[in-house]
Every structure is written in C-alpha cells, then in structure tokens.
Amino acid sequence: MSTHSAPTPFSMPMFRDFVPNWQRPWIYVMQAFCFQLGGAVYIGALNEMIGGRAIMREDVTMCLYSNLAGMAIWFPVLFRMKFRFSNRSLLIAAAVVLALCNWLFIQTTFMPLMWLLSFVAGIAKIQGTFENMSNIQLWLTPTRNMGVFFPCLHIILLTSIELQAWYSAFFAHEMHWYISYWLVIGLMLLVIAIQLFLTRPWCPMQPRVPLTGIDWLGAAFWSLLGLQIAYIFNYGDWLDWWHSSSIRILSGTSLITLGGCLHRMWTKEQPYFEPRMWTYRHLIPIILLIALVEGLLASEHVLEEIFYEEVMDYEMLTSRTLTLCALPGIWLGCLISFLWLKVWHLNVYKLIAIGMIAVALYASGFYFLVSENINIEVLRLPVAFRGFGYATLSIAFMWSLHEIMTFEHFFQSLSVFNFMHMYIGGVIGCALYSWGVRYYMADNIVRYTAYLDMPAYSSAPFNIEVWMDDFIQSVMAVTIKQLYGWVLYISGALSIAFLLWDMPAVRNVARRFPTWPIVGASILARRIIHNHSLHGYATPKK
C-alpha cells in the first residue's frame, strides 16, 4: 500500500465561519485527547474501585478488556459511519454515549452490565477519536504519508494512556475515584458544546452511503470470541485453569464460537472479516509479533505492579507518578519513528530492532535494580526505555501493516491487529506472568528455606512476623528478577534476529531455505526410499 499520494488541499468546512482557520485543527486535537482520556475503567483507581465495590481485581480488568474489545471490533465500520452520518452527528453521539456509559458505570454493581457498558464505551471512544483524527490528517500530512501520521497519532494515544492512569490515581488518592468519571463526563459535555456552537452538519460523502451489507452478526461472533479468550486467561489463574468447570465449559463454547466465525467468513457474501484479508504476505507474522511484544510488555501490569505494591509498599499515586517517566520515552520514540520513516526512509527491520533493544534495556534495568532497598529515582530510566520501546514498536508494526495491505482490507486487518495489540496479547502475557510469579515464588521459598538454621533461630528470640515479611519481600524481589530475566532473553534474541534480518546477505540466504512442508516431504520421501531398500525393493541399477 502506498505511503503517500499527491498533496490535497486542507480545509475544515464543518466549522462556522467565525472560527479562525488556524484554531480549527487544534480544536480537533483537543477533542481527540478528550475522547482518549475517557473510557469505562480507569486503571489508576484500581485498588479504590476494588475496595469500594467489594469486587476482585479480575472483575475490574475484565471491564478493561471489554473496553478494548469494543475499540478493536469497530475499526472495519469506521469509514462506513463517516460516509453515512455527518461529522457533527458522529462526534455528538460518541460523546453522549461515552458520558452516559461513565454515568451508568458508577451507578451499577451488576458485573455483566459493567462489561457491556465498557464494551459500548470502547466503541464510542474509537469512533470519536477516529472522527477527530481523520479530519486533521491532511493538516498533519498533505500527502497522506503514514510515516508522519502514525507518530503523531501515537503521541496522542500513548500520552493519553499515561495521563489517564495518573489523574485517576490522583483523584482516587486526594478525593474519590468517582471524580475520574465525572471529569470524563465534563469533557464529553465540552465536546458536545463545541459541536453545537462552533460547527455545522457536514458529511464528506454525497450522497451518503447507507449502512447496508455490514455483517453485524459476524462482528458479534468475533467480539464474543475475543471476550471468551479474555475471560479464560483473565480468570484462569484465580479459578485454577481447567480444574474449574466454568473454564472448561467456556473453552468448549469458545471453540463453537470460533466455528461460527469461520462459517460466516467462508459462506457469507460480505463477511465482517473477508477470507482474502488473511492472505496478504507478512500479515500473520506481524500479528504474531505484536502479540508477542504486547505479552512481553504486560510486565508493566503484573511485575511492576507487584514490585511497587508488595516489595516497595508504594501507594498507587506514587507508582503512577513514576510511570509518567514513560512520557519522555514515548515522545522520543515517536520522534525517532518520524525521522526514520519520513525523513531518512530507512528499513523498518532496524527500527523494530531498536524498539526491541529498548525493551531489553528496560528488562535489564529492572533485572539488575530490583531490590527491597532501592531509591525510586533509579527506576525512572528503565520506565523511560519501556515507553520508548512501546511507542517505536507500535508505530513500526502499524506502518508495516499499512505497507502490505490495500485500502480495501486495511481497516479489517487493523481490527485484527488491535485485537492482538490492545488486549489478546496483553491478557495472555498477564496470565503467563501471574503463573510465573506463583511458580517461582513457591520454588524460591522451598529453595531458600532449606538454608535456614532453624536451631539457631529457635535459640535466639526474634519477631517472627517481621522476619517473615522481610523474607517474603526478598523472595518476591528474586522472583521478579527471574521473570525479567526471561523478558531480557526473549527481547534480546528478537533484537538480534531483526538486526541480522536487516542485512541483505543474511536475508537472501535465509529466503533460500525451504519451508517446513517441503522439509517434511523430503524427509518422508527419504524414509520411504530407505524402507524400500531394507526390504529389497530398491530400484535395480541399469
């Protein structure tokens, strides 16, 4: 897919005449920030929400995954909505829905309803963000160069994520966790006021395209499949995985849902995800790589949180203030990606390798620094490396996806990409880290208690409670180190692999290697010939 086209004049005809031209795109940038700061669950207020609602951590994170699922599934219909309704109608509707979901979320404690509200809020959030960013794309890059647009987009997306986590923790600490929801409701009312008083109805497509032919049932099937996978991996550790009947039942029904998804995809004339979308070269490797990277960086939500809360005894506001150090890394990563793709026109393989090196530096920083007696200041640099790596890799993978896809299937592939990028990879990574913490904690406790001199401890009086707290903290720090060691191994191996793949000599030699089916067929053929020779059936010499 081409990264740029001929320059197109930029204008924003939806604004009323008295709004200055130079202010118009900045108003839409501000509105994009408003939508991105919204949502249904604010992770900075996680502990307060758990205590205030008397619910489990898994319940809250399932609301978060439902929100991300709503965002991911809506990508294929974004342009259909844009060509059917006016810009003003879409933004007002998205703001109303997001404000209403936030208000209802703090009124109910019924968990399935909270999941549904989170899902709908995700749809409204991505619709509002897309409407704002699509209207200022030509302002950012008149030639529609994605090497410019994607870094600018990720500045807004990733900055909003960090700010949302911080302000929700701030309000929960200083006031009440409800304040985050009322803030978002206020921001949505601001968006509605801007649209009512500063804009007029305007649609880029005349006549408007009707919403016919969209496979809504297929979208529901794919959404249900994603939520079932998220539920299994989110609650699996708590329910002891497949020892639980609910996990076994859900695993079976998820296979039925997958069958329904594939049946509609292959039999319906216009399915939600077309079969041809899956045939683009490099699509599957890109999706698997972003899922792997997202799984590695899920350490932020498991290992870092355990270290901050259980080892260092930080309050949520302290840990969220520390994670703001990711912002300089995010901004630098977006700048480097812009220079790499737009100015220098360098190979994306090396950009991915640079992102993986940043992830390795982040993991090595925590591996060597994790201790129960460190200063909080020393963690700022590893957190900044995490932000740099996440921004660089997100932009590089999205740009790679754009390069291999035609516009016809780009938004379908972007939906699958974001399913893996935003929550499937993350929820699987969190599940693996949780299992790793449980395994290594038990293993380390057994190993280290074997070296204790129990007669010496029993003869000298001491406070067993204080000693046990210190012992568990030390074991937990060692466990976190071990898991960060695995992150370092994998990210280091991936960075080396992409650096080697960037070399033409290595890449050309690797491409001459036969594929696995060819290797398997050749081995099978040699074995058949060998068996025939043993039984005297070899072909006689001429």
Distance CA 230, CA 236 (A): 10
Residue 47 to residues 55, 269, 336, 401, 479, Cα–Cα distance (Å): 10, 47, 36, 37, 23
Beta carbons of 75 and 411 less than 8 angstroms apart? yes
SS (H, E, C) 12-69: CCCECCCCCCCCHHHHHHHHHHHHHHCCCCCHHHHHHHHHHHCCCHHHHHHHHHHHHH
* Residue 542, pLDDT score: 40
Return the bridge partners of 15, or none: 199
Beta carbons of 215 and 412 less than 8 angstroms apart? no
Q: Give the DSSP H or E segment for 529.
A: helix 516-534
Backbone angles phi, psi at 157, to 5 degrees: -65, -55
* Residue 541, pLDDT score: 47
Question: Residues in the chain with pLDDT < 50?
Answer: 2-3, 510, 538-542
SS (H, E, C) 146-201: HHHHHHHHHHHHHHHHHHHHHHHHHHHHHCCCHHHHHHHHHHHHHHHHHHHHHECC
Beta carbons of 392 and 360 less than 8 angstroms apart? no
Residue 121 to residues 64, 133, 156, 183, 199, Cα–Cα distance (Å): 10, 18, 19, 15, 24
Tens digit of each residue's pLDDT (9 = 90 or more) over 101-133: 999 988 888 889 999 999 999 999 999 999 999
Alpha helices in 370-501 (DSSP H): 380-404, 407-418, 425-449, 454-459, 464-501
Q: Give the DSSP H or E segment for 227.
A: helix 216-235
Quick one: angle between helices 216-235 and 57-73, nearest 10? 150
* Residue 82, pLDDT score: 87
* Residue 104, pLDDT score: 92
Sign of CA dihedral 132, 4, 23, 157: positive
SS3 443: helix
Distance CA 181, CA 33 (A): 15
Beta carbons of 477 and 313 less than 8 angstroms apart? no
Give the global pTM.
0.89
Distance CA 353, CA 505 (A): 17
* Residue 44, pLDDT score: 77
Those residues whose C-beta lies under 8 Å from the C-beta of residue 481, and which sit 6 or more positions away, are: 366, 367, 370
Distance CA 51, CA 395 (A): 37
* Residue 509, pLDDT score: 52
* Residue 209, pLDDT score: 78
- The two tokens of residue 151 are 């870094």
- The two tokens of residue 521 are 């067929």
DSSP 82-142: HHHS-HHHHHHHHHHHHHHHHHHHTT---HHHHHHHHHHHHHHHHHHHHHHHHHSHHHH-T
- The two tokens of residue 451 are 């070296």
Residue type, 224: L
> What's 453's DSSP letter?
-
